[in-house]
Amino acid sequence: MKSFLIACILAALSLSDVAEARSKDAAGVPVKVVVTDTEGEPIATAVVRHPDESDRHRVNAVDGSWEATVLYMPDGSEMAFVPGMDLQLEISAPGYVTQIIQYSVRKRKNKIPVELARLDLQTEEIEEPVIQFGRDEPRDEGSEAPAY
């Protein structure tokens, strides 16, 4: 009876080791994206997205980084980052030019620096048009306002 219990415990432990090894393989390798502006300051409002994915992932507001080992696709499947895979990501932020990057995942040290340039939003001041109605009459400069 004791040998049966020991055999069951050993079998359970070996199954948990196999499951843990499979989960490590399925999780993929970590990929880190660091988003900064042209001066090297982190962009707190940036988001990272895979073109086939519906979710946008916000970066860390303090250092502008986002890190993951897997992405979840709209059909419910998982896309684990594995060495040798070509990864395409879209990085955007309000007021900055969106960048689409292509990256080949390695076994380790997958840190991708992304520098976003500001949008050139120079706007001219537009004067508001004066719309006159048919009953309006221009005022003389020297006359007083009519009393009602």
pLDDT given for residue 22 in this prediction: 42
Please tell me whether residue 70 adopts helix, strand or coil conformation. strand
pLDDT higher than threshold 80 for residue 92: yes
Q: What percentage of the chain exceeds 70 in pLDDT? A: 69
Q: pLDDT confidence of 21, banded at 50, 70, 90?
A: very low
pLDDT given for residue 10 in this prediction: 55
pLDDT given for residue 27 in this prediction: 75
pLDDT in tens, 98-133: 999 999 999 989 999 999 999 887 766 777 777 767
Using CB atoms within 10 A of its CB, is residue 115 exposed (0-12), middle (13-18) or buried (19+)? middle
105's CB contacts (< 8 A; 6+ apart) are: 29, 31, 81, 82, 83, 84, 85, 86, 87
32's CB contacts (< 8 A; 6+ apart) are: 65, 66, 67, 110, 111, 112
Mean pLDDT of 125-146: 67
Q: pLDDT confidence of 4, banded at 50, 70, 90?
A: low
Strands 47-49 and 86-92, bridge-based pairing? antiparallel
pLDDT higher than threshold 80 for residue 47: yes
DSSP assignment of 87-136, as one string?
Answer: EEEEEE-TTB--EEEEEE--SS--EEEEEPPBP----PPPPPPP---TT-
1 or 76: which leads in pLDDT:
76
pLDDT in tens, 48-65: 999 988 889 999 999 999
Q: Which CATH number fits domain 28-115: 2.60.40.1120, 3.30.460.20, 3.40.190.10, 3.40.50.720?
A: 2.60.40.1120
**Where exactly are the structural domains of the chain?**
28-115
